Amino acid sequence: MPSLWSWLLASRSSAAAASRSLSRVRPTDPEWPTQASWDQLGQKISGKLIKVQSPLAECVQAPSSPNSLHIFKELKNPYYLGDEVGLTQSLGWVDAWTSRPSVYAVAAESTADVVAAVNFARENNLRLVVKGGGHSYQGTSNAPDSFLIWTRKMNAITLHDAFVGAGCDGQHAPQEAVTVGPGAIWGQTYKAVTTKGGRYVQGGGCMTVGVAGLIQSGGFGSFSKAYGMAAASLLEAEIVTADGAVRIANACTNPDLFWGLKGGGGGSLGVVTRLTLQTHSLPEFFGAVFTTIKAMSAGAFRQLIGKVIEFYCKSLFNPHWGEQIAFRPGNVLAISMVFQGLDQQQAETIWRPFFEWLAASPEDFSIVAEPKIMALPARQFWNPEFLKKVPGLVLADDRPGAPEANIFWAGNLGETGQVLHGYQSAWIPASLLQEVQQKNLADALFAAAQHWRVTFHLNKGLAGASPEAIAAASDTAMNPLVLDAFALIISGAEGPPAYPGVPGHEPDLVTGRQDADAIEKAMNEVRKLLPNTGSYLAESNFFDQAWQESFWGSNYPRLLAVKEKYDPDGLFFVHHGVGSERWSPDGFIRSM
Ligand SMILES: Cc1cc2nc3c(=O)[nH]c(=O)nc-3n(C[C@H](O)[C@H](O)[C@H](O)COP(=O)(O)OP(=O)(O)OC[C@H]3O[C@@H](n4cnc5c(N)ncnc54)[C@H](O)[C@@H]3O)c2cc1C
């Protein structure tokens, strides 16, 4: 059923559409650029044009060849995936999308390369795709028959002591900041800012996610309850818009575009070629608390859920704490929380009452993974040398000659090269933490966990955050519901690397659909409490029909106006991106 937004747009834009090109060209169309045109583009950008070939093509043709076996092994290495122009971090999503290589790509090294590519795409009416870290769950950094701008090589990082945005002289005080190229990933950025620079920048949890993609989709990291949404720390961006112009966007110059870039969604407003982010002083310690508990009966599990909500509300609902509490089938509760600004002893004191409560009922609760509480100097938190010494915490890029700093959290391995089976999320308002509501919340979580695991990501909602974090997030395009949510609840499932046409490695459609069904049932239990909640596009359901409302809520009309101003013809299209309701699902045919 068309959404309200589609209907409104249809009535507004039917006249305008008549004067526009209604479909983009594919390689099979006579209008596809000639070889001479491609060669000319290649010369203009000094040979940075690539004819894209996915390594998976070889796996389809010769699945048992040594090279194919090697490729399948490397599909579990996020750095390999990131360095391959024809691959993405997820290989697909059952019944949603499959990772497909573009026909040509520009491996951009400068803003001028990006300008040349944007102009070429517009002049030749091509389906344009932008890829940074390649982590989109929605499959928005790949498309068949497309032309790709790939920013991987634009990864310079520079720290500033006193940054003032262009045009902001006299209006904004100088502040400490970091400027990052659009191809940089968070691991590289943390190394420069925290390990080397002794400062803090708000990014995401996964070290191989791209900075530009995460900032434009809102972005949350473990410590977002203290430092806010990552997008809210954007001070300035350089962006190439659909007309080929290089624009600065900050609070003083093109402020409408600046606002739209903060959570308005990647790949929709232009190609970001540089980002400057606010940095903060580091606290003395970061730390983590891990444990897994199994309740011995359904009744005990329900009691445990009630207790953990009460404990969270009383002791952890503040800027010190973030990350996850998972509720799993089999009456299992898994805690993986992180903290900032507390030392070991303070963290232990906070958790003691909870662990004492558990210990008092050994007949009801068994500890599957013994509680671990550890604080470490904040500067070591992303230091590859330090992390490699902690058993089981990180894995390394195993390719010969790979940089020593190429590490990733072992906890992200399951998502590397995955085929998603299902994924849904919803913000949980802080009103459900009120004493009278806690019972309803616990009942819903208990019912949900009978179907599939559901996990509170307590750093992906800003209720309980610092006032500065909330104020900064309210000046972004994100759905304002994020300000009142204490958590994002996520339910997901995935299978190992698989690709259609590779014998023995085909996506498991049967299991995929069963898992998706179980996720739907689990999330329906949560939605009974929250019929009108939202989510954010980076970690959300591909099939969400009400995506405009979910991702941007009351901000959608303003975001659409920014889109219309800077990209009226829709050169930039992504699935469920602003303005995408005007296009066919593959982004080739303009429907209104
Ligand atoms: C394993 C994993 C862990 C994650 N953890 C977190 C987390 O902790 N917190 C969080 O907030 N999110 C998280 N995410 C979601 C992630 O932030 C988003 O998927 C993000 O958009 C990825 O950015 P990317 O550059 O890596 O991906 P890409 O797929 O390259 O890009 C994502 C989108 O942004 C666009 N884009 C990329 N670069 C540019 C550019 N320079 N200019 C314009 N558009 C651009 C692309 O076209 C695409 O539409 C995670 C995702 C994965 C797969």
Please name which of 579, 571, 576, 578 lies closest in space to residue 130, comparing C-alpha atoms: 571
The DSSP line for 263-330 is TS-TTSS-EEEEEEEE-EEPPSEEEEEEEEEEESSHHHHHHHHHHHHHHIIIII-STTEEEEEEEETT
* Host H or E run for residue 12: helix 4-17
Residue 133 Cα to ligand 1 midpoint, Å, equals 6
Asked if residue 180 has its Cβ within 6 Å of ligand 1, the reply is: no
Residue 134 Cα to ligand 1 midpoint, Å, equals 6
Separation of CA 398 from chain center: 25
Separation of CA 355 from chain center: 33
Asked if residue 209 has its Cβ within 6 Å of ligand 1, the reply is: yes
- Residue 293: what are its φ and ψ, rounded to 5°? -125, 135
Mention every residue, 6+ apart, whose C-beta is less than 8 A from residue 242: 118, 122, 270, 566, 567, 568, 569, 571, 572
The amino acid sitting at 439 is: K
Asked if residue 271 has its Cβ within 6 Å of ligand 1, the reply is: yes
Q: Residue 565 class from Cβ within 10 Å (0-12 exposed, 13-18 middle, 19+ buried)?
A: middle
The amino acid sitting at 298 is: A
- In the prediction, which pLDDT does 33 show? 98
- Quote the CA–CA distance of 520 and 530 in Å, as a whole number: 14
Ligand 1 atom 11, closest CA: 219
- In the prediction, which pLDDT does 176 show? 98
Asked if residue 499 has its Cβ within 6 Å of ligand 1, the reply is: no
- In the prediction, which pLDDT does 18 show? 46
- In the prediction, which pLDDT does 532 show? 86
Asked if residue 176 has its Cβ within 6 Å of ligand 1, the reply is: no
Residue 17 Cα to ligand 1 midpoint, Å, equals 31
Q: What is the largest CA-CA distance in the chain?
A: 77
Asked if residue 219 has its Cβ within 6 Å of ligand 1, the reply is: yes
Asked if residue 133 has its Cβ within 6 Å of ligand 1, the reply is: yes
Asked if residue 457 has its Cβ within 6 Å of ligand 1, the reply is: no
Q: At what angle do helices 111-123 and 35-44 cross, to 10 degrees?
A: 160
Please name which of 172, 237, 269, 240 lies closest in space to residue 558, comparing C-alpha atoms: 269
Residue 66 Cα to ligand 1 midpoint, Å, equals 32
The DSSP line for 349-363 is HHHHHHHHHHHT-TT
- Detail the DSSP E strand segments found in 151-240: 157-163, 175-180, 199-200, 234-240
Note whether 249 and 239 are within 8 A (CB): yes
Residue 183 Cα to ligand 1 midpoint, Å, equals 11
Tokens 């490699």 — which residue? 388
Work out whether strand 147-150 and strand 49-51 pair parallel, antiparallel, or are unpaired: unpaired
- Quote the CA–CA distance of 253 and 558 in Å, as a whole number: 17
Which atom of ligand 1 lies at the shortest distance from residue 140's CA?
Answer: 49
Asked if residue 267 has its Cβ within 6 Å of ligand 1, the reply is: yes
- In the prediction, which pLDDT does 21 show? 59
Which atom of ligand 1 lies at the shortest distance from residue 88's CA?
Answer: 29
Residue 214 Cα to ligand 1 midpoint, Å, equals 5
Asked if residue 148 has its Cβ within 6 Å of ligand 1, the reply is: no
Asked if residue 382 has its Cβ within 6 Å of ligand 1, the reply is: no
Asked if residue 220 has its Cβ within 6 Å of ligand 1, the reply is: yes
Asked if residue 537 has its Cβ within 6 Å of ligand 1, the reply is: no
Residue 538 Cα to ligand 1 midpoint, Å, equals 7
Asked if residue 418 has its Cβ within 6 Å of ligand 1, the reply is: no
- Quote the CA–CA distance of 193 and 430 in Å, as a whole number: 33
Residue 94 Cα to ligand 1 midpoint, Å, equals 20
- In the prediction, which pLDDT does 70 show? 95
Asked if residue 89 has its Cβ within 6 Å of ligand 1, the reply is: yes
Which atom of ligand 1 lies at the shortest distance from residue 273's CA?
Answer: 41
Which atom of ligand 1 lies at the shortest distance from residue 269's CA?
Answer: 43
- Which pTM was predicted? 0.95
- Quote the CA–CA distance of 516 and 224 in Å, as a whole number: 29
pLDDT in tens, the chain (592 residues): 345 555 455 555 544 444 455 899 999 999 999 999 999 999 999 989 999 999 999 999 999 999 999 999 999 999 999 999 999 999 999 999 999 999 999 999 999 999 999 999 999 999 999 999 999 999 999 999 999 999 999 999 999 999 999 999 999 999 999 999 999 999 999 999 999 999 999 999 999 999 999 999 999 999 999 999 999 999 999 999 999 999 999 999 999 999 999 999 999 999 999 999 999 999 999 999 999 999 999 999 999 999 999 999 999 999 999 999 999 999 999 999 999 999 999 999 999 999 999 999 999 999 998 899 999 999 999 999 999 999 999 999 999 999 999 999 999 999 999 999 999 999 999 999 999 999 999 999 999 999 999 999 999 999 999 999 999 999 999 999 999 999 999 999 999 999 999 999 999 999 999 999 999 999 999 999 998 899 999 999 999 999 999 999 999 999 999 999 999 999 999 999 999 999 999 999 998 7
